[in-house]
Structure 1
């Protein structure tokens, strides 16, 4: 439909619009002859196509709005249904993150003590999980994960290790 409108518009701009057969059909009818299938002139056809396109755009926008509202209602219902499972999972995650943080802190303290003794730690081949940051860094991954969990109401401030608050 749009491509036809583009072609007709180009013919009109080029000064070679098709005239259609509406007038010729009127003469056929007056002479008592059977009219041919109606073909609109390019300007009339273009007006018709534009009205059709605008109506489809209007209906599409209305349908899209209804679809978005229905999707929001369905999403709400789904989230309400899975809230208990989500709460259990995020609580488990928070507890395990706290356990990881405690183990990470204990490991870093151990390595610091070995290094403070003057020994070379290269024999131990220590591990430095840089992706999760230092356990005492208040701007690393631990901090931001705990912050998000607290802001979303999954944990309280008291459940966050003080060193990363």
Structure 2
């Protein structure tokens, strides 16, 4: 397994990872995520150009990706997805560690993200990787606004939470 910054030629292949990863939500309260449109290239291209998009690769095949950006005092993980056939093999952890290394080197105080608090492979996995669920009063303004936006946008939005991992 190799984790590296995404290259321009990787971008068209990221949608297939996102679609595959979404299938895991079928039959859950987040079933809608399986039918969500993948992230548009117009969002991935600037992230790739800024060095805020990583891919995990196995024998030349893309297995996962992580898309992040600065938010307040942290590097915010906008999305981390691993294709179904590669889940449970450490790709997500490796992508998060690559983002943590980048954030640390860039002087960020933490990694942050928003996720579902109920799905067994979301919040518990992030907690295992050192993230802590934040109460509303513990969030930075930008993170609070992001979570509030998601809670209004997504079905089953009451299940959303924000998490932080100090670096």
- TM over 0.5, yes or no? no
Q: Highest CA radius of gyration, 1 or 2?
A: 1
TM-score with structure 1 length normalisation? Answer: 0.21
Higher strand content, 1 or 2: 2
Of structures 1 and 2, the one scoring higher in RCO (CA 8 A, sep 6+) is 2
